[in-house]
Amino acid sequence: MPEVDEESRGLAVEVVVRLTVSHIVQPVAPPEESARRIAAITERIAYPGGGA
């Protein structure tokens, strides 16, 4: 599994948090769908090689 450097990890965490807040403040889909989509993005960031 590819390693993610510390700076990229920090930026990824910030993006996921901001995306989550955005979906809470201005929802465009049901909460369950938003949660699934954010989880998919988080998984891709956390495991860039698909190792999850």
- Over the chain (52 residues), what is each successive 10-residue block's mean pLDDT? 78 91 93 94 81 59
The tokens for 5 are: 């450097």
Token reading at 42: 């988080």
Q: Tell whether pTM > 0.75.
A: no
Nearest to 8 by CA among 46, 36, 52, 50: 46
pLDDT reported for residue 1 = 52
What Rg, from alpha-carbon coordinates, does the chain have? 12
Instruction: Determine the pLDDT at residue 49.
Output: 75
